[in-house]
Structure 1
Amino acid sequence: MGESTQDGTPGSWFRVTIPHGIKYDRTWLMSSIQRQCSVPFTPVDFHFVKNEARFFVQEASTASALMDVSYKIRDEESQEVCIPVFVRPSAVPYSVRYKLKPEEMEQLKLTLIKRFDVSKLALDLQRLYVDPDLVGYDIDIILNRRSCMTATLQVIEKYFPELLSLNLSTNKLYQLDGLSDIIQMAPTVKILNLSKNELTSMQELSKMRGLKLEELWLQGNPLCDTFPDQSTYVRAIRECFPKLLRLDGQELPSPVTVDVDTPYIVKLCKGSYFGSDELKSLVLQFLKKYYLIHDYGDRQVLAGAYHEEACFSLTIPFHPKDPVPSSLCEYFKDSRNMKKLKDPYLRVQLLKHTKRVIVHTLCVLPKTQHAFSSFVVDTWFQTETMLCFSVCGVFKAVEGSSKGCVRSFTRTFIATPARDCSLCIVNDELFVRDADPSKIQSVFSIPLPTPTSSSMHPLSQQQQDIMQASSTPSEVNR
């Protein structure tokens, strides 16, 4: 027998599930569903379970209309992918089942009004669960409970419609499913204090992405201890809240914005200019030495080419319709393809910071043999203290399941001057893809010694002679 709702009608609630819904912006997802649905509805208890998005609706007519929406909404990025929507009968949602009584709602309203600062449009709800005005009436407001958070947001929506600042510190919050409703119920909030709670995962914060926060407090949550350094922490939070100006009381650099409404003209791009033969020699010598060590030496030696706080990223192509090319499988787990990655925490984690981490990453990548004669080098920005240049070409895998496969690569370096008239890498971006067969027929015509699995610290004279004979780039923009 079905469970009864608040009005006593059995079986009139339905659960709506969107597989992999967590990768979509909540506001976009719900507005898209409502546009396609022939019956207006109000979602109840919208939340994420693992990767799914879920909410509840009442009435069979609404459920039937939502069933018709399935596969009619197209993914924002891949218009070829249609989003499924599954609907099935459900028990009464938690927030409805344990809804506060009218007298409890009235006392909660009075308590919140007492905590509201009219001059600052700020609501201080820290330690709400021990507020004497609630405890004295034997009212338990535990904000981890969906019913309690829903009731709190309903009061905010009705009595503080222009709320700017909300303090929820020290409320033992470990999940933000209920709070995510603030995106619709109190969209004006710009300052949110979640400090001294029990949040452990960036996945919880990602549920709040639709909120246009300018200031956020998180200190005192276990989540803050999961990042290797402050810069990684800031980048991860900025992924969720791009307009954030202050984090834990500290000023952040102004976010970079692009005015997409202003028309502009893309000027014709001309070849880069080295500036001098000395600079050209510097870049080419650097690349020769780097790739000789990379292919034939011990890659641990490459640590000397990187700044202590350098950053490295690896990307392989991705299109939702295409499977991962089999020859690139060895690179897939480290690939930071921004079109594929939806998890803001993973986007940051796949950036390799510090030269120790970078060199470890380089050492576990497959052994390679680069065709130096295929290199095209372009120096595209230069100041007295920084040099930006790119190199593209092809290389061959020399071990493993993809042995013999030829791949194309593009690598962009940002470097600063170093001792001994060399360069120090501060940023390194590597893009690897399958090579065009028409462009690789002759690049490996000169036989090069195959690197072995053993480390070879110094370069032999023979290897240096081979480099001199075969390593001249085929084209250098200057």
Structure 2
Amino acid sequence: MPKNGGRIRNFKNNDAFEHDDRTHTSNTRRVSFKPNTHKGKNKWNNVKLQLDDDVYMGGTGEGGPHVHRKGAFRGRGGRLNSPSPRTGHGMAKKKFIAGVLPWYQIIIPYGAKHEKDVILKTLLSYISPDIFVPHYYKTNGNAAVFYVDDVKLAEKLFHADRKITMSDGFKLMVIVRNSVPNVAVDAEMKEKMKLAMAKRYNATTKALDLTKFHADPDLADIFCALFRPVIMLAAIDIIAENIPDLEALNLNDNKLHGIEHLKILSSKLKNLKILYMGDNRIPFLGSLEPLKNLQLVELYLKGNPLVNRFSDNEIYVSDVRKKFPKLVKLDGVELPPAIGFDVLEDVTLPLRQQSFLVDPAGQDLVREFLTQYFAIYDAESRQPLLEAYHEHATMSLAATYLSNDNRNAATQRLNSYITNSRNILRITERESRRRYLRTGRLQVVSFLSDLPKTAHDLMGFAVDLLVFTPSIIVLTMNGVYKETNTNGNPTRSFHRTFVIVPNAGGGFCIINDMLFVTNTTKEQEEKAFSTGVTVEPTPAPVAPAPAAMAQPSPDDAQKMMLNMLSQQTGMNDHWSINCLQQTGWDFQRALFVFNQLNSEGKIPPEAFVK
């Protein structure tokens, strides 16, 4: 026996216990059992450390219950390394420290002297009514060793140390370590896993139940916990090889934590539609990111810490559905239908169309209106637009930047529009909102005349005729235009809405005009004015605008389209007339045909000789 102050030998798993600690021997030195000490503090920074290192559960020192740190306590006389104070007649009470993973190694020194049933029944009787399941029970030298997978039970066993007196008078010692059993996945283990899975597979429903797989009786002699990535990957390989058409997989209660390796499920099990992962240790909803490629219709997550992070169930359901949009059932509850397009996956969507007309009968009116209105708007003077607006017409302008970067370049600045912008998110006062609203035809046309001079790309217009009745027409359009009197001729993007009503003369006039202006996108810049012809402003037409609004004669309308086409394409009147006649006097169609033929080099040079 060592003398007082001698070093106490550390306990290792394969040590034999030759010394007895009897209750009636008062002068026998107490033997302590502690793991090998490590220099420095244990830091639980990664899974590998958590899985591979054993941690002593006592709380009186870093390396074990009898580690004395230099300078930690001074006796009454001031000597270093004096024994620490005792609590009552014994040592200071040890404190249980829970580990990160829920696996604990239980070591019973001298446990080999007793039968397995005796040891287990004695411990079960002490922690009753709680019950633990001993995993992988074996003897190691004179010690009995097994594992439990529950932190609460491990703590109860920790506090059972030296609290139980056996029939032969010995105090039963219980050592608890946070430790995971070692495992080597070999062919023999895979065969046992395969046999265990076979009895858990339901061929009728194509479902495999792997709930608490490590506790399967057929795997009692091996450590087969699915939270170990190497074991989970082996299980997935077995499933993919033997039941590749699996549709439902139950992984409940398997202590799952990190599931990054489960991303291979989408490629290995392409028919998987139902996945149960309840009662595990998945911490965050973001931890499910590796599963996002699975086309799941049912998912079970109840019992994971991630669920408790949501105080609002609707937000929880919404966030889960963002990752798995095809879900119809979550945590056993049927979900309401998702808001979306009610079409089959293989249905081809209709072709995109540039313009929409609620009534094809309004096509001619829309074409004539836009042609005449923007011919005047792009002219040197906009005064003729007075007759295009209702006496009590209202007009508003809103402008904003696509991004702050647009403010840096001089040609991108929208100063001409921002100062007059009636953006109701910015203009909050009622009086200011009223002041930025132009009322009456004089105010409207005067305001429009002060805006920069423009040349619109009529070919690029997208026009929607939303309402077309004898009493009201609602027309919206978006496109691009150039500022012809601004340095650099910047291109702007716009959206405009016209509300049109009949006037007293039998024609039509605008009663409400809303204009929105912003910077063009890169795509709009590339497609703008694709004809390559600079559009020059046209002189103000002699005929007043009311005639245009009063449905002009076909001859007048054709002359207007001829002039516009000639200006935008550069062709002479002869070729412009031919182009319009071949397209049935459809102005936009004529421009489209010209662009296509011109890009292919099929228009002869004489077409541009005037």
Confirm or deny a common fold (TM above 0.5).
no
Higher relative contact order, structure no. (Cα contacts within 8 Å, ≥ 6 residues apart) = 1
Instruction: Report the TM-score when normalising by structure 2.
Output: 0.32
